[in-house]
A and B are shown apart, each in its own frame.
Chain A
Amino acid sequence: MGELVVEVESLVVRYGRGRAAVTAVDGLSLTVVRATVTAILGPNGAGKTTTIETCEGYRRPQGGRVRVLGLDPVADRRALLPRLGVMLQEGGAWSGVRATEMLHHVARLHANPLDVDMLVQRLDLGSCGRTPYRRLSGGQKQRLSLAMAIVGRPELAFLDEPTAGLDPLARRATWELIEDLRRDGVSVVLTTHYMEEAERLADQVHVIDGGRVIASGSPAELTSRGAANSLRFRGPAGLDVRSLVAALPEGSRVREPAPGSYLVLGTIDPHLLATVTAWCASNGVLPDDLAVERHNLEDVFLELTGRKLQP
């Protein structure tokens, strides 16, 4: 495991005071390894933005410990900020400023900025370079905001929903840029509620809901670990599966979502498969369409929370 660039431990962040206080982040812990892409995946209101804005030093946490590049984001903010790239979820530019003018301005605040023309080309901002910010499309604003986050050659970039509202082409260009950032040694933390984005880009995914991390791992680990898989088969309707549940390892569940369609949830390994087929044999059932199903992150989320990731 490489050097940790972000360490969040039991983070608690509340908005408001007293009875009206809302707990946005409630005991959240996660880490980010240098030169990797980490996705914070979760539905709206899960605490994604609050978590990264706390890492950026915008909010003083009510509990827990946060270290970014080894520094306290609030106490050491001045030392930390030049090393960070920040993409806010919205806004961040004057309404009358032209797109490239804004990018040049942010570049001037840094010691060794990237070549602005190169960034403009990579993010296809050339055609709207002289357009005032207020007249840019949502996607153009997103791409400008991403360019502003990385123009200062940061060590660590926090990107809050970098592809929200982008068309597929622009989304792919953004993904390729993020992959290049990682290749060149930049650590990237992004929030998203697109599971395909997390699956494609992230080395590490933290699934968060209700202000806590409910699962962490690489996309492969998250989608292949037992709890995330299921075994399906078809047979006569109305089988008494209680004896099957008894034969399976503890924690396994068997459902019949539709008559004759059975779903086994649990740690799906060869041993469990053998147990299921043995039970079928002793009950005179020939399982039809027997299949082990590999889940994607969307299913993982559904399984962990009982809700869909995207409304």
Chain B
Amino acid sequence: MTTGTFAPRPGAAPLPRMVLAQGLMEARLLLRNGEQLVLALVVPILLLVAGALAPGLSLGAQPRIDVLAPGVIALAVMSTAFTSLAIATAFERRYGVLKRLGASPLPRTGLLAGKVLAVLLVQALQLLLIVPVAWLLGWRPAVDATGIAAAVLMIVAGTSAFGALGLLMAGTLRAEATLAAANLVYLLLVAGGATLVPVEAYPAPIQPVVALLPSGALAEGLRHALGVEAGLAWGGIGIALGILAAWAVLAAVATARTFRWE
């Protein structure tokens, strides 16, 4: 064995260290990107403030902010887990980043864990901004520890479902097509997918359809978990979790079968 500067000493870093490095790196790159930052932070805050202050708007029987705040949290979760993740991954594929990392010591599971970490970090930042602003706008949910746990569970389930859907798109479409489609699907789900407007406000015949959408399930679940009435609507939360889990499994299986790394 020689002892020069470049003398071989190969080896992978411990997996947790690699995942942490990958997660922090991806989160940093996401926040460095202007469009992504608008999508992640500016749009949810604008919608929250505009929705709460716009005159003449009604979202049902409850005070508007009580319906709006969980919806905006759902929207924020979607924007990061679905749109940002899909676009970032599609361009990683295009620029050979996935290929290059595929030759690094980081295994594919580690890469996926890094992406999950990055998404969760950005979502934490979004919540740190959205929740205080909603509070300032008068949001006073009657939540205890179980309610918060239920909300976290919904966010995790929603992130799994939307993350898997985002990766499905990123792994099959070209980067430009992903950029367009990920934004379009996000807009459609925000506008007509029971994200901000509750399922019960939709015409009766299409209510079952919007309730089954991942956006509808996530937002309804959050509205149940972060309700103004004391006590949790476990039935609604359970249904929402079931729908999101089904989306997550279906999309994950499809992604595993179709994802192209190059």
Contacts and interface: CB of A to CB of B under 8 A. Distances in A.
7 contacts: A81-B12, A86-B103, A96-B32, A108-B13, A109-B18, A110-B12, A114-B6
B122 to A, nearest CB: 15
Interface in B91-128: 91-92, 95-97, 99-100, 102-107
A56 interface: yes
B95 A81 contact: no
Interface in A106-152: 106, 108-112, 114, 118, 148, 150, 152
Nearest to B7: A184
Nearest to B32: A96
Contacts of A90: 96
Interface in B11-67: 11-13, 17-18, 21-22, 25, 29, 32-33
Interface of B: 1-2, 4-13, 17-18, 21-22, 25, 29, 32-33, 91-92, 95-97, 99-100, 102-107
A96 B9 contact: no
B160 to A, nearest CB: 24
A105 B21 contact: yes
B8 A154 contact: yes
A93 B100 contact: yes
Given A94-B95, A95-B95, A184 B5 contact: yes
Nearest to A149: B103
B249 to A, nearest CB: 26
A148 B8 CA distance: 15
A109 B12 contact: yes
Given A93-B95, A111-B11, A184-B4, 11 more contacts: A81-B103, A81-B105, A82-B11, A91-B96, A97-B25, A105-B21, A108-B13, A109-B22, A114-B6, A150-B6, A184-B7
A205 B9 CA distance: 26
B11 A112 contact: yes
B10 A95 contact: no
Nearest to A150: B6
Contacts of A58: 99, 102-103
B104 A88 contact: no
A184 B4 CA distance: 5
A244 to B, nearest CB: 54
B138 to A, nearest CB: 38
A83 B105 CA distance: 9
A165 interface: no
Contacts of B7: 153, 184-186
A84 interface: yes
Nearest to B92: A94
A180 B11 contact: no
Interface of A: 56-58, 78, 81-84, 86, 88, 90-97, 101, 105-106, 108-112, 114, 118, 148, 150, 152-155, 180-181, 183-186
A186 B8 contact: yes
A118 B5 contact: yes
Contacts of B32: 96
Contact of B97 (A81, A93, A154, A183): A93
A178 B1 CA distance: 18
Contacts of B105: 81-82, 109-110, 152
A181 B6 CA distance: 6
A91 B6 contact: no
A189 B80 CA distance: 41
A78 B6 contact: no
Contact of A78 (B8, B25, B107): B107
Contacts of B106: 109
B100 A96 contact: no
A185 B4 contact: yes
B13 A111 contact: yes
Contact of A153 (B9, B25, B33, B92): B9
A84 to B, nearest CB: 7
B29 to A, nearest CB: 6
A118 B107 CA distance: 27
A303 B13 CA distance: 49
Nearest to A148: B100
Given A94-B29, A150-B6, A185-B1, A82 B12 contact: yes
A83 B8 CA distance: 9
A153 B9 CA distance: 5
Contact of A82 (B2, B4, B10, B21): B10
Contacts of B5: 114, 118, 180, 184
Nearest to B96: A91
A183 B11 CA distance: 20
B158 to A, nearest CB: 26
A58 B33 CA distance: 30
A148 B97 CA distance: 12
Contacts of A155: 8, 10
B96 A153 contact: no
Nearest to B14: A111
A109 B96 contact: no
B104 A109 contact: yes
Given A81-B105, A118-B5, A108 B96 contact: no
B174 to A, nearest CB: 15
A41 B13 CA distance: 34
A81 B104 contact: yes
Contacts of A96: 29, 32-33
